[in-house]
Amino acid sequence: MHHLARHSVACFLTRGDLYIHWEQGRDVFERLLIDSDWAINNGNWLWLSCSSFFYQYHRIYSPISFGKKYDPNGDYIRHFIPVLKDMPKEYIYEPWTAPLSVQEKARCIVGKDYPKPVVDHEAASKECRKRMEEAYASNRLGGNPVKGNSSNSSRRKFSDGGQDVPDSSMSKQPR
């Protein structure tokens, strides 16, 4: 699985849309990927779920625009999801928006040959962003760290100018 597809899947499942715990996705990848590496798999899921290392949770990959940007013709989709191979490129990432006549011509009727969307991305990502913001806010510490205190060496400054956050508090994403 291409690393960009892994990124898109991880973001969709965790902080992007479905808000599931990163360990569930990690476990599936560990079981199914033929090139799975324990350390890389764990690190990627921690990073992409914003549970650790990366805290810019507001940067959410759209499962639609992400694909359009990196594979505008939908070649990857056509190869790995053969039922969409005849879908015109303007609908390859959103086949549910294709008129019925286009779906019939492509021999891919949404709801019959291809599933309907499990969530509305705009609404789901907005809700996840809100929940991530609440989780991060609940872990913020009041005041500025005292300079020279070694316990402050593991703190980061939010890019939005917010209060410092201990790295250890970012390792737990709410379920």
CA-wise closest residue to 78 among 106, 98, 101:
106
Q: Is residue 72 part of a domain?
A: yes
Best-predicted range by mean pLDDT (47-51, 71-75, 137-141, 157-161): 71-75
Domain assignment of residue 69, yes or no: yes
Contact in structure between 132 and 23 (CB atoms under 8 Å): no
8 is written with which tokens?
């898109």
47 within a domain of the structure (yes/no): no
Give a yes or no: residue 127 inside a domain. Answer: no
Q: Which residue has the higher pLDDT, 46 or 146?
A: 46
Interval 20-36: pLDDT, tens: 999 999 999 999 989 88
- Report yes or no on 26 lying in a domain: no
- The pLDDT tens digits of the residues spanning 140-173 come to 754 333 333 333 333 333 344 444 343 443 344 4
pTM reported for the whole predicted model: 0.64
In a domain, 21, yes or no: no
Report the Cα 128 to chain-centroid distance in Å.
10
Per-residue model confidence (pLDDT) at position 54: 59
In a domain, 12, yes or no: no
Domain count of the fold of the chain: 1
94 lies in which domain range? 64-106
Output 60 or 37, whichever has higher pLDDT: 37
In a domain, 76, yes or no: yes
- Average of per-residue pLDDT across 111-136: 88
166: helix, strand or coil: strand
- Per-residue pLDDT reduced to its tens digit, 97-113: 999 999 999 999 999 99
Known binding residue 86? Answer is no
Q: Which amino acid is at 150?
A: S
Annotation-wise, does 168 bind a ligand?
no
Q: Identify the pLDDT of residue 150.
A: 34
How far apart are the C-alpha atoms of 94 and 108, rounded to whole Å?
12
Measured CA distances, 118 to 10, 90, 105, 167, 171 (Å)? 16, 21, 24, 33, 28
